[in-house]
Chains A and B, each alone.
Chain A
Amino acid sequence: MSEGPIVRVENVTFVYNPGSENPTVALRNVDLTLYRGDYLVIVGHNGSGKSTLVKHLNALLLPTEGEVWVKGMDTRDPEHVLDIRRSVGMVFQNPDNQIVATVVEHDVAFGPENLGLPPEEVERRVEWALGVVGMLPHRDRASHLLSAGQKQRVAIAGVLAMKPDVIVLDESTAMLDPVGREEVLKTIRRLNREEGVTVVAVTHFMREAVEGNRVVVMEEGRIVMEGTPREVFSRVEELREMMLDVPQPTELSYELHKLRPDFPPDLLTVEEVVEEICRRGGGVR
């Protein structure tokens, strides 16, 4: 399905507290295009503007300058706000602070109910969304008794039940333990590959950046690098200058490349590195 971009961010500048004594410029002339089926990962330090940028995608923030278009709708047009928000769902960092209801299935129903859908349709969507994130057996449970990873999957189901085209995850794995993080990542991967949902994930875990098909690196409100994970992470020196990590396997392959120029410098996963070394029959010693 090749059609136009689903989201276009055009030359957006955003200023917190404009007109006050200390206005903070959070975004400077940012351009970003998102296509259907993308899995875009945004990395950067705290305060680099990544959270501010994604809050523009569903009109939680409006650009001070520039424009954001979602499926051909301008986010500044108040008439389209609800249509934009049902197209671009958002999952936040703290799972406790985004669950509204005390029972899992009632929370998932919150979004569809806000859309005013008929009760049978709400029921159908709740069941489907809980099934997709693997929480259907817990539908009757109290939400505060779930693990953090489970809560975050419920939050994803709550967004999913509105059938959005895009799901934005704003540091949604930051507060989870490794097990919970893996649960959530697996769920997102499934959504992207099997349900065809476009994903935008904000993270500061470089390991998660490898999941996407595109990576954007932000620094001081600007996009400083953009490309496939392989393209971005092969620029190890530049990333180090920005005090950003590189995924460990990439770092290893980069260091090996420095020793042996014929060793590829841009391997992304442990599997790739192992395969490459095995292929050489232990020649890299």
Chain B
Amino acid sequence: MEDFEFLRHITLGQYLPGDSLVHRLDPRVKISVMLFMTVAITFNVSYLANIILLIVCLSFVLLSKIPLGYILSGVKPALPFIIVLAILQLLFYGDAFVPYGTESRTILRWGWVHVTSGSVQLVVVSTLRFLQLLFLASLLTNTTTISDLTSGMEAMLSPFSRVGLPGHELALVGAIALRFVPILAEQLEIIMKAQASRGADLGAKGRLRFIQTTRQMVALIVPLFIDAFRRAEDLILAMEARCYVGGRHRTKRVRFRFQRADYIAYVLVLLFSAAMVAFRNRMPF
């Protein structure tokens, strides 16, 4: 039966309770930090800049006291894709990427294969970027409860409600979707066991495994969708029975207030990211 219980081990986006500086930061600050850093990361392609950014992201992880191994374990399922991608980039992207202000030197040319200093840099930098973004995204979800995250997002989107952006509704949709992840995972497990007990060969092995497993997915996905719709109907009734009519007349609870640490973190990261963007073409290597 262990075959079917992998769904319990989803660690993506799991909140790890703690009392570190990062845990205590206002969720709006954490979301902003994530955005600023992402901008800085996407603008920088030089080795030095990415090393600096990686060190900064690492120091965030250390501050949060989340074990580094825990965050890195999230890479494992994606590892084959990353490696394939890196190899493709290394071998075939030689001409496509020329870092600013440098000449791309050819290292190896053999038929279609064209390795240049540019493609090496591309591979190294995209791996570093991947790690930086992984650290940031894991950190955000590992140190913030879902409800804090969604109400933080709601608070950040609320200024746009005047131009018709339904901030509250978007946040609620996100919160409900996340709330139902464990329930639907459990339901999928039940369906898998039910199908297996009636002879479905879900652990199919062999050369044509891909085709078989795809076909079997239909037998899982269809009942899962029907179940999800039924739950949605129930939820609608329950929400209506509790007087839900959208966000307009709802109580706005002030859940967060900026502390000194919030201001400092916000300003520091903003300045750092701005500097990284401004000096992106002045890095020595």
Contact = CB atoms under 8 A, between A and B. Distances in A.
Interface in A154-210: 155, 158-159, 162
Contacts of A143: 179
Contact of B147 (A101, A111, A119): A101
Contact of A113 (B146, B179, B253): B253
B146 A162 contact: no
Given A98-B235, A100-B176, A101-B179, A114 B147 contact: no
A162 B183 contact: no
B241 A85 contact: yes
A114 B245 CA distance: 7
Interface in A113-136: 113-119, 122
Contact of B243 (A82, A109, A122): A82
Interface residues of B, number: 28
A112 B242 CA distance: 8
Contacts, number: 89
A144 B179 contact: yes
A89 B176 contact: no
Nearest to B233: A97
Contact of A96 (B145, B146, B183, B239): B183
Contacts of A214: none
B242 A158 contact: yes
B250 interface: yes
A92 B237 contact: yes
A98 B253 CA distance: 22
Q: Which of A98, A103, A114 has the most CB of B within 10 A?
A: A114
Interface in B205-261: 231, 234-235, 237-245, 249-254
B241 A60 contact: yes
Contact of A110 (B145, B237, B242): B242
Given A90-B241, A116-B251, A158-B242, A106 B234 contact: no
Contacts of B241: 58, 60, 85, 89-90, 92, 159
B184 to A, nearest CB: 10
B276 to A, nearest CB: 35
Given A118-B251, A119-B254, A111 B175 contact: no
Q: Which of A97, A109, A116 has the most CB of B within 10 A?
A: A97
Contact of B251 (A86, A90, A113): A113
Contacts of B172: 100
B203 interface: no
B178 interface: yes
B18 interface: no
Nearest to A83: B243
Contacts of B178: 102
Contacts of A122: 251, 253
A48 interface: no
Contacts of A228: none
A113 B172 CA distance: 13
A60 B147 contact: no
Nearest to A96: B183
A144 B182 CA distance: 8
Contacts of A103: 145, 147
Q: Which of B145, B172, B238, B251 has the most CB of A within 10 A?
A: B238
A100 B251 contact: no
Given A118-B251, A119-B253, A97 B242 contact: no
Given A58-B241, A113-B250, 4 more contacts: A92-B238, A102-B178, A113-B251, A115-B243
Interface of A: 58, 60, 82, 85-86, 89-90, 92, 94, 96-103, 106, 109-119, 122, 143-144, 155, 158-159, 162
18 contacts: A86-B243, A92-B238, A96-B231, A98-B235, A100-B235, A100-B239, A101-B175, A102-B178, A106-B147, A110-B239, A111-B243, A113-B250, A113-B251, A114-B249, A115-B251, A119-B251, A119-B253, A144-B179
